[in-house]
Structure 1
Amino acid sequence: MTDQTLRTTAPAQVPVAPVRSLRARDRDDRTNRPGMVVLLLCSVAVLLPLYATVTMAFKTTRQSVDGNAFSLPSPLSVDGFVEAWRLTNFPRGFTISVLVTLVTVVGTVVLSSLAAYAISRNWDHRFFRWSFFYLLAAMFLPFPVLALSQVKLTGMVGLANPGGVALLHVMFQLSFSVMLFTAFLRSVPEELEESARLDGASTWQVFRRIVFPLLAPMSATVAIFAFLASWNDFMMPSLIIADATQQTLPVLQSVFQTQFSSNYNVAFASYLMAMAPAIVVYLFTQRWVMAGVTQGAIK
């Protein structure tokens, strides 16, 4: 048998992946145990109150005062939802909350992306660089610190209404959003913009047609953070909005809290209706939150 035949009939050598030792696997398992325990505790801390809220919302008034919040409702009742719908005038409060949140999300994405683009492309200029530091410093000023001045200012200029709340939501979201957009814009090559300018495009056209579409992942992340912050906010609407008929859902729940004091099923039904939109939006968009933040941080 010739050498060529031997080479032809010889079995091919399959690369064997290195097998990790049992000791290394046990070491990794021990390393991951604290993280798994923390994850389990956090899951229980979130899912247990949510379970209690759902079960209490579908109970009757007699079942809700039996002292067992974790027992299953038997039979299921939607009377709590009907009563909460009537007492809080849910359609009106829901509409106001949606409008305030929509203005907040659109305003935050547009203004913060424009500001971040100007800062990132003019970083060598002292004005833009210090503007970025100024916005970062504003992150350390929470609304309760500025509450009194904001209440007086909005009342003087006629913004003691949902429009003023939406405007303040945008302003308080700018710092964090500009930081995210600025980090992401560093990964966008400037050669794309230079080629567009050679073709006669203006700065606004370059941003609208080239840069802003590339910011879609980070825009989704910023929009989700702005949505959650605006929809769940209680303190700012309660202090700014003077007319009780124009309040958002979180404030309306506190207004009728005395009426809900003995009807726990009505109270929990109202809470569930108010937080259901935020839960649904986050479940469908949660993959963009960490993806956008991680992508901007790495780049």
Structure 2
Amino acid sequence: MKEKRYNWPVTTLLIIGTILILFPIYITVVNAFKTPAETAQSILSLPGTFTFANFLQAIEMTNFFNAFGNSLYVTVFTVIFTVLSNSLVAYAIARNMHKKTYRVLFYYFVSAMFVPFPIIMLPIVNQMSSIGLMNLNGLVLLYIVYGLAFNVFLYTGFIKAIPKELEEAAIVDGCSRWGVFWRIIFPLLSPINATVGILTALWAWNDFLLPLVILSDKSDHTLPLVQYVFQGQFATNYNLAFASYLMALLPMIILYLFLQRWIISGVTQGAIKS
């Protein structure tokens, strides 16, 4: 048997990358539990006494639970309607790619991924303002529309791998095209639905720029906006800022740790043709 040989250059790069990722997290965690005096002495050392006072003060100053509710509302409804609507659009395109109109439509959606948001930012703000959707509902609508390009790309590859014979058999048994999708296709899309749902949730929860230009009422601010305002107002008190960052990050970290395998499985299954 051949001896195993380690690829030291790759291993070294992985170690460096891990350190670069974990070091800022370490700084954030330890300083969130410190007093300002301890942080001034050293940002690397462990706190002398772990205290939750910073978290309680950050919750009060940022109106954290209101912002948390807004982010949760936007994320949940964005994920639900994105999965339902984007899968329908992708199914129509995937099963009609032999038609020129649908091929053009598919490439049109794919090309939208290469359009930078700042280019269309002002027209979007103008349109949303004119129809009275500069609020959380308008934000949900924009996330659904903006996610369409990338999600159609993912869904189309996955749906192509599903045998058409399943649909033909269902139609022969008297199932309508609408019933075929909801009873046959949609249940088979569970892996890619999970992938799209997780990626959409991470995006909607962590996004900063779109809420910044859409949400005009401070009571509608999501967690990323609250962190921005908090940092601007309390730029010298890093302990409160770090505590607030941890509370904002924790839900998505937990979600990703438990569901990360669905992202890989969904993408890889969509790349395999039967």
TM-score bin (small chain): over 0.9
Give 1:146 deviation, angstroms: 1.1
Which residue of 2 is the match for residue 288 of structure 1?
262
2:31 matched to 1:77?
no
**Superposition pairs of residues 208-219 of structure 1, within 5 angstroms:** 208-219=182-193
The total of aligned residue pairs comes to: 273
Please state whether the residue corresponding to 2:252 is helix, strand or coil. Answer: helix
Change (3 A) 1:149 1:262: same
2:25 matched to 1:47?
no
CA distance in 1, matches of 2:112, 2:16: 33
TM-score by length of 2: 0.96
2:227 matched to 1:257?
no
Which residue of 1 is the match for residue 118 of structure 2?
144
CA distance in 1, matches of 2:141, 2:12: 41
**Superposition pairs of residues 161-172 of structure 1, within 5 angstroms:** 161-172=135-146
TM-score by length of 1: 0.88
Structure 1, residues 109-167: CA drift from partner, whole Å, max 9, x if none?
11111011101111111111111000000000122221111111111110101111111
Please state whether the residue corresponding to 1:106 is helix, strand or coil. Answer: helix
Identity of aligned residues (%): 46
Please state whether the residue corresponding to 1:242 is helix, strand or coil. Answer: coil
Which residue of 1 is the match for residue 102 of structure 2?
128
Conserved 8 A contact 2:161-2:272: no
Which ranges of 4 or more aligned residues in structure 1 deviate by more than 4 Å?
Answer: none
**Superposition pairs of residues 49-68 of structure 1, within 5 angstroms:** 49-66=24-41, 68=42
CA distance in 2, matches of 1:251, 1:221: 26
Structure 1, residues 65-88: CA drift from partner, whole Å, max 9, x if none?
22x222111100111101110011
Q: What letter is aligned with 2:27?
A: A
Q: What letter is aligned with 1:55?
A: V
CA distance in 2, matches of 1:59, 1:86: 18
**Superposition pairs of residues 235-274 of structure 1, within 5 angstroms:** 235-274=209-248
Which residue of 1 is the match for residue 253 of structure 2?
279
Unaligned runs of 5+ in 2: none
- 2:158 corresponds, among 184, 195, 218, to 184
Q: What letter is aligned with 1:213?
A: P
Unaligned runs of 5+ in 1: 1-18
Give 1:283 deviation, angstroms: 0.5
Give 1:100 deviation, angstroms: 0.5
CA distance in 2, matches of 1:86, 1:266: 11
CA distance in 1, matches of 2:116, 2:267: 22
CA distance in 2, matches of 1:34, 1:145: 40
CA distance in 2, matches of 1:179, 1:80: 44
Structure 1, residues 202-225: CA drift from partner, whole Å, max 9, x if none?
111110011000000011001111
2:134 matched to 1:160?
yes
CA distance in 2, matches of 1:104, 1:37: 40
CA distance in 2, matches of 1:287, 1:155: 40
Conserved 8 A contact 1:103-1:166: yes
CA distance in 1, matches of 2:97, 2:103: 5
Which residue of 1 is the match for residue 90 of structure 2?
116
| CA-based RMSD | 1.2
